[in-house]
């Protein structure tokens, strides 16, 4: 065979091989899906095989479906729904994941002196924000007082076996302020155990990151400017992280507006009422997203003055409050280490 012909065949085979390898790998893939009434996404730095992407998608979806089946009050057959509807004081046999999240919710309740409370389901329903709520409206003082008598983090407990007990049949749990964070952590654990070193995972804006982004720099996490317009994607600023979690709680998307007053879906467990303050949102950075998620809610309830004092006593936790002034302008209030820990950059 002529030498020229041999070279042409070799070049042709090389092109076919190169095309095949290129089609087998995907650069900086992004996995997406739906969960917990919102969406999730996972972004990787580098190349993954299509088989790896397919397998990861199946594993992530299966993990999130399992978490929903444990902790969603919107699923009447979920573990939490069975606990809430139970007339027995206990013991209620709980899965390991469910027991873990409830235990941490109890710890956060104690740490925050009740600013975080997982027993708010009856009050959320009363205000119309819960899975069994009807019309969204501001309830009467009498209804709030009566319903509040069935709430309180000290009204249920977990025994040494992980089983749940409640003080009265009407005690009901809601883990909406912590379950998304746990879900992101679960994705992160899956990726860590699989050996991935550079990734970004989020569920509904609650985030965990590792390593660097496809440009080789820290992952950029946008902090949304607090506006009620869902089409407005303006950012207040950006945090830059190579490790850790970010969670934000705000009152600008889910609320009741009555008599010219905006009543947040975030309830103060201590009063049973919607939080009425100048706080527009709270962003927390912490080692894991379950804590960041729960702490963001608790800090929103506390407000900037009390909340920032609380954060200063918590190692590896930082927070930023976005506070709305009388003129409607937003100002930033930081814990002492927030800017340094996050390399925070305002958009203005």
**pLDDT one-digit tens code per residue, 195-224:** 999 999 999 999 999 999 999 999 999 999
Top mean pLDDT of 23-32, 61-70, 247-256 is at: 61-70
pLDDT at 11: 54
Which whole-number Å values give the CA distances from 112 to 106, 217, 268, 298, 306, in the listed order?
10, 35, 12, 7, 10
Q: Kindly state the percentage of the chain with pLDDT values over 70.
A: 93
pLDDT at 328: 87
* pLDDT beyond 80 at 20: no
Listed as own residue / partner, the contacts of 137-143 with beta carbons closer than 8 Å and 24 or more positions apart are 137/256, 137/258, 138/256, 138/258, 138/263, 138/274
| Cβ count within 10 A of residue 306 | 14
Mean pLDDT, residues 90-96 taken together: 92
Which whole-number Å values give the CA distances from 315 to 79, 107, 108, 124, 344, in the listed order?
33, 16, 15, 32, 19
* pLDDT beyond 90 at 261: no
CA distance 295 to 189: 21
The CATH number of the structural domain formed by 89-166 is: 1.10.3980.10
| Residue 326 CB burial class (10 angstroms; 0-12, 13-18, ≥19) | exposed
| Cβ(319)–Cβ(285) below 8 Å | yes
Sign of torsion over alpha carbons 298, 304, 306, 309: positive
CA distance 215 to 226: 29
Sign of torsion over alpha carbons 257, 262, 267, 270: negative
* pLDDT beyond 90 at 254: no
Confidence class for position 241, pLDDT limits 50, 70, 90: very high
| Cβ(117)–Cβ(108) below 8 Å | no
pLDDT at 10: 55
Kindly report whether the global pTM for this prediction surpasses the value 0.85: yes
């Amino acid at each position: 065979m002529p030498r020229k012909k041999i070279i042409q065949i070799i070049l042709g085979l090389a092109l076919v091989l190169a095309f095949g390898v290129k089609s087998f790998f995907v650069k900086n893939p992004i996995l997406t899906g739906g969960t917990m009434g919102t969406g999730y996404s996972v972004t990787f730095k580098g190349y993954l095989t299509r088989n790896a992407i397919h397998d990861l998608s199946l594993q992530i979806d299966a993990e999130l479906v399992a978490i929903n089946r444990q902790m969603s009050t919107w699923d009447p057959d979920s573990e939490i729904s069975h606990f809430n509807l139970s007339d027995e004081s206990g013991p209620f046999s709980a899965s390991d994941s469910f027991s873990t999240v409830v235990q941490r919710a109890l710890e956060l309740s104690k740490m925050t002196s009740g600013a975080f409370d997982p027993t708010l389901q009856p009050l959320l329903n009363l205000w119309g924000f819960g899975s069994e709520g009807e019309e969204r409206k501001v309830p009467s003082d009498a209804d709030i007082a009566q319903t509040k008598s069935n709430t309180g983090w000290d009204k249920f407990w977990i025994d040494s076996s992980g089983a749940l007990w409640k003080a009265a049949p009407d005690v009901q749990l809601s883990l909406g302020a912590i379950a998304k964070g746990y879900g992101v952590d679960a994705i992160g654990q899956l990726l860590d155990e699989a050996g991935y070193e550079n990734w970004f995972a989020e569920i509904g804006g609650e985030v965990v990151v590792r390593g660097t982004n496809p440009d080789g720099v820290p992952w950029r996490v946008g902090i949304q400017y607090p506006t009620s317009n869902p089409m407005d994607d303006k950012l207040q600023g950006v945090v830059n992280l190579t490790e850790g979690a970010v969670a934000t709680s705000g009152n600008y998307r889910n609320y009741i507006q009555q008599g010219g007053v905006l009543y947040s879906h975030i309830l103060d467990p201590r009063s049973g009422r919607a939080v009425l303050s100048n706080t527009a949102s709270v962003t927390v950075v912490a080692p894991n997203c379950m804590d960041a998620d729960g702490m963001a809610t608790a800090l929103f309830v506390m407000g900037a003055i009390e909340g920032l004092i609380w954060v200063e006593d918590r190692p590896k936790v930082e927070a930023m409050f976005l506070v709305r002034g009388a003129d409607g302008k937003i100002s930033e209030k930081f814990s002492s280490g927030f800017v340094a820990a996050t390399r925070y950059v305002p958009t203005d």
